[in-house]
Amino acid sequence: MALFLIFCRIGGCVLTMPGFSSARVPAVLRVFISAALSLSIMPVLWDTVYPAVRTSNATYIGFIFSESLIGVMFGMLARLYTLGLQFAASTVAMMIGYTQPSASDIFEDGQESALSGFIIFAGMMILFMLDFHHLVFRGLIDSYTSMPFGGVMQMRSTLISFTDTLSTTFSIMLRLSSPFLIYGLLFNVAIGFINKLAPQIPVYFISTPYLLFGGLFLFYFSVAAMISQFGQSFTSVFMGQ
C-alpha cells in the first residue's frame, strides 16, 4: 500500500512532466518509469510514508487522490515553462514569416512550423542535458517534508506557485522573443510606408522573401543565446527564486 501511494505521487508528476508526458512516449513506458522511480526511492521514504499509512484515519481513495494531485502539480509547474517556450517559438516563427506547418508537434499530435519545432526540440534537449528531471524529482522527494503524507494540500500556496510560475515564464519568454518582435514590427511598418507610397506594387509578395531572409539571419546569431538563457532560467523558475 505504501509503495502504491508513492507511485501515485511519482506517476502524477511523470504524467504531466515535460518530455515524459509527450504523446510520442507510450503510456506503458511512463508506467514503467514511474514504477522504477517509486521502487528506487521507497527505502528513503519508508520511515515517512509507512507510519502515516498505518496511523492515518483517511480513506485509501483519499490518499490516492491527494498524492496524485501533488504529483500532477509538480509536473505542471515544469510543463508550464516548456509551454512558454512553445509560445515563444510560435511567436518567433510568425514574426519572420516562417509559419508553414511542415513539422510534427513534439508535445502533442499536431502540426507546427519547422522553425518552432527546432526551437522546442533544442530547448528540451538543453533541459535534459542540464538534468532538469533530477531537479524535479528531487523537489518531489523533498515535498514529503513541506507536504507531508496524509496532510491537507494547501490550495492557496499551490495557486500562488502557479501564478508566480506563469508570470516569470511570460517575462522570460517575452525577453527571449523580443528581438524578433522588434524586427517584425519595424519591417512591417516599413513595408506599410512603402505600400502607401506605391500602392500599385504587390508589396506582400515582394517583401516576404526579404522578411524571411532577415529573420533567419537574425535567428542564426541569436538562437544559441536564446536556448542557453532558456535552460539556465529553469532552476530559478521551478524553485521560485
59-95: per-residue pLDDT in tens? 777 778 888 888 898 889 889 999 999 899 989 999 9
**H helix intervals, the chain:** 2-16, 27-55, 60-95, 114-129, 132-146, 155-197, 203-239
Write the CB contacts of 125 (distance below 8 Å, at least 6 apart in sequence): none
The terminus-to-terminus CA distance of the chain in angstroms comes to 36
pLDDT at 146: 77
pTM (2 d.p.): 0.84
C-alpha grid cell, residue 140: 518531489
pLDDT at 213: 92
pLDDT at 182: 94
> Domain spans of the chain?
2-239
Gap between the Cα atoms of 75 and 17, Å rounded: 4
Gap between the Cα atoms of 27 and 15, Å rounded: 9
- Low-confidence residues of the chain, pLDDT below 50? none
Phi-psi region of 153 (alpha: psi -120 to 50; beta: other; left: phi over 0): beta
pLDDT at 202: 81
